[in-house]
Structure 1
């Protein structure tokens, strides 16, 4: 069906479009990673690298900004989906940041937008695992590059612009110089980083949610901060369980 839709486009015969299709198409044989021990390691080794990046303090101080980036863009995405207007965002290396959406100063849309930040990295990480195991790593690289370029219009600091541009350039390069296993391995590293990073971000606010998203939700709704911390925990746990399920079926079942 996807192929039929692509072939029906008016520019489907253009050389530049053919190059895009070649570099973006699905790779079904990636699902064969689970066939033997070497295939299993091609999945688990990148995941272990991602876990190490989060657990080692020196590397965590560097890579945690990616978790913050997804956190803030999670606010932005849900804000847009609920009818709010996204106007800008900032990320900082100390795990702090903010995304600004404009709309009603109360209501379900604002609550969902505020709630989405902490679960976003876990949900994205699980999605990356699912897409990678099904051969969509090149398409994810292109989508990441395009979204990152679009986000440059909303950055509100030079550091945020630098991080966003680096993500766009890296994803674009991996897409253009296509290597399915290389792209898949990179996405699995990032997936593990986002999943475990989501737990670390959540754990940093869970004991005392004052000044955090759950505290904002408590002010908006009247429900206590611990309730919102708990719902975010359930979302992160569900995303993690989904990732484990897909990995089990792909490599161990």
Structure 2
């Protein structure tokens, strides 16, 4: 156990500057291009629904399960008081979770603790698998967790650092686009039951306020993650 702990907590060298910049460009292109975004958006949905589930557990709501769908949507089912702080926090957690995970991963990557980041990701996916209530969701989590484990287990630490950097940038950029999509759908009246609209019904604040709050959190996390991962020297 001591050896495992030492291997997890031992800091390693971060990725070279060119790898940080290249991974940022690849992640941005993946999120910006509709074709690649459609294929990868499910990873953001996993983080989104995981955020709902974690918030429900922390606020002592009864978590009934999570469903992930092939159209990259998802739903987290909870039971408890229909109003109150617990329900508000649970509804508000989804859209900001990918960005919060991204900035946390950026800090771990920047400080050389990539092994901890990988262990946390695999642990969260395994815990979430216990809560999945449909076949597609189970297959998605098994495929994602299996890919993370296989790639990081057989690759050298330098490659792990680059892959972690790519994943972090993807979470940071990918946390912003769903909020912009939500804003566009709401403006067309296509998302009457979105998280923002549920929060509007739970509070005295309009849905547009919640969309703006989600966007501000996501942009702040993107700026913070970029600052943590910045490979270029600051001017004197």
Provide TM-score, normalisation by structure 2.
Answer: 0.89
Relative to structure 1, is the Cα distance of residues 203 and 93 closer, same or farther in structure 2, using a 3 angstrom cutoff?
Answer: farther
Match of 1:69 among 33, 40, 46: 46
Residue 94 of structure 2: SS of its match in structure 1?
coil
| 1:139 counterpart = 2:116 | yes
55-64 or 88-97: which moved more?
88-97
CA distance in 2, matches of 1:86, 1:23: 34
> Residue 212 of structure 1 is aligned with which of 185, 188, 194?
194
Q: CA deviation at 1:23?
A: 4.6
> In the alignment, which residue of structure 1 is the partner of 2:227?
245
Distance in 1 separating the partners of 2:216 and 2:35: 29
User: TM-score, normalised on structure 1?
Assistant: 0.83
* Residues 103 and 251 of structure 1: CA distance in aligned 2, closer, same or farther (over 3 Å): farther
Output one character per residue of 1:124-178: Cα deviation in whole Å (capped at 9) or x when no partner.
Answer: 1121111111111112112221221222111111111111112221232344335
Q: CA offset at residue 218 of structure 1?
A: 1.0
For the residues of structure 2 that align with 1:167 and 1:239, how far apart are their CA atoms? 24
Q: Is the contact made by 2:108 and 2:116 (CA closer than 8 Å) also made in structure 1? A: no
Q: Deviations over 1:43-72 (max 9, x none)?
A: 111221111211222211110000111011
Preserved contact between residue 126 and residue 240 of structure 1 (Cα < 8 Å): yes
> Could you say which residue in structure 1 is the equivalent of 2:19?
42
Distance 1:185 1:150 in 2: 25
CA shift for structure 1 position 29: 2.8
Distance 2:232 2:57 in 1: 37
- In the alignment, structure 1 segments of 5+ residues that lack a partner are 1-10, 13-17, 34-38
Q: Is the 8 A contact 1:218 1:224 kept in 2?
A: yes
Task: Please report the RMSD computed on the Cα atoms of aligned residues, expressed in angstroms.
Answer: 1.9
The answer on 1:26 being equivalent to 2:10 is yes
Q: 1:22 to 1:179 in 2, by over 3 A?
A: farther
Structure 2 runs not aligned, ≥5 long: none
Greater relative contact order: 1 or 2 (C-alpha under 8 angstroms, separation 6 or more)? 2
- Deviation, 1:87, is 2.3
Secondary structure at the counterpart of residue 95 of structure 2: coil
CA distance in 2, matches of 1:151, 1:169: 14
CA distance in structure 2 between the partners assigned to 1:155 and 1:135 by the alignment: 32
Give the distance between the partners of 1:175 and 1:60, measured in 2 at CA. Answer: 23
- Checking the alignment, whether the CA contact within 8 Å between 1:27 and 1:180 is kept in structure 2 is no
Partner of 2:168: 191
Q: Work out whether 1:83 is the aligned partner of 2:83.
A: no
